């Protein structure tokens, strides 16, 4: 063992070269396909969310306009703000935020309906199995209780989340009222525009 350092060096070099062979063809060959796949999945998910918002808005007579189903609600700032570019720009910016909050409520509404639909289908399928024999009926009866409980838990969670989202929406509306008040005194904007939207959300979304 006169030259231990050279031996160690040689071993390390061999290990390095073995690793190089082992890594072929290498992640760089596959990575683009992974990126394409995730981008496609994200596009699909976005399309699903957007489509859900659209469907829910159209099916709500207060949201979809009869002459233009995709238009949704209209909301005005009032004549004083209309004349002032700064005011109207601020108004539009805040309306965008309120629009996103409302869209979330409509999207979640659609998701709730779809989940309830699939739970209903499962319950029907189980009852079909349960009608075949007495022992099966006993098992199905127990499972029905579990499904009903799961549904109730889901509805409770949905309501909690929905009420929190509606509260946020109301905060945004009150904020906008303050901004319009800064530009134009005594507009009662919230009473005329914000409150009806808040009440609509409060009536429509919680189960």
Partner 1 sequence: MRYLTYFLALGLVGLLAAGNDVYAQSNENIVKDYRNDVDGDPDRPTRVRLKAQAGVDMGRMAGVWGTLGGDDVADVFFLGKTPDFARMQFDLTALEGSSAMAIVTAKNGDEIVRYQIEAAIGETKTVWLQLKGKILVQVIQPELHSSSSSSTQLTYALYFWYPGDTIDALSETEFDNVEDYKGREKPRVLHAVKGVAK
Interacting residues with partner 1 between 116 and 135 (CB under 8 A):
117-118, 121-122, 125
Angstrom distance (rounded) from CA 100 to CA 88 = 18
Min dist. Cβ of residue 124 to partner 1 (A): 12
Q: Contacts with partner 1: how many residues (CB under 8 A)?
A: 74
Of residues 127 through 186, those in contact with partner 1 by CB under 8 A are none
Look up residue 183 and give its two tokens.
Answer: 């530009």
CB nearer to partner 1: pick between 111 and 159: 111
Q: What are phi and psi of 68, to 5 degrees?
A: -150, 90
Among 177, 193, 198, 205, the residue binding partner 1 under the rule CB under 8 A is 193
Sole window of 11-19, 139-147, 159-167, 180-188 interacting with partner 1 (rule: CB under 8 A): 11-19
State yes or no: cis peptide before 18, omega within 30 of 0: no
Closest to 81 (Cα-Cα) out of 183, 162, 10:
183
Of residues 67 through 126, those in contact with partner 1 by CB under 8 A are 70-77, 79, 82, 88, 91-92, 95, 98-99, 102-103, 106, 111, 114-115, 117-118, 121-122, 125
DSSP secondary structure letters along 96-127: HHHHHHHHHHHHHHHHHHHHHHHHHHHHHHHH
């Amino acid at each position: 063992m006169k030259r231990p350092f050279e031996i160690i060096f040689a071993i390390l070099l061999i290990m390095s070269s073995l690793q190089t062979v082992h890594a072929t063809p290498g992640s760089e060959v596959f990575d683009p396909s992974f990126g394409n796949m995730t981008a496609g999945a994200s596009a699909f998910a976005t399309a699903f969310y957007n489509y859900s918002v659209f469907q829910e808005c159209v099916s709500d007579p207060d949201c979809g306009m009869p002459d233009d189903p995709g238009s949704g609600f209209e909301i005005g700032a009032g004549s004083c703000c209309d004349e002032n570019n700064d005011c109207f720009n601020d108004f539009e910016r805040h309306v965008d935020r309120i629009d996103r909050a409302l869209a979330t409520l409509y999207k979640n509404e659609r998701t709730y309906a779809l989940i309830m639909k699939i739970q209903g289908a499962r319950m029907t399928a189980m009852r079909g199995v349960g009608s075949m024999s007495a022992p099966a009926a006993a098992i199905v009866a127990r499972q029905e209780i579990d499904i009903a409980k799961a549904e109730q838990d889901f509805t409770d969670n949905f309501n909690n989340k929905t009420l929190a989202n509606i509260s946020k929406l109301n905060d945004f509306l009150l904020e906008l009222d303050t901004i319009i008040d800064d530009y134009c005194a005594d507009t009662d904007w919230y009473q005329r525009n914000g409150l009806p939207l808040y009440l609509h959300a409060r009536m429509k979304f919680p189960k």
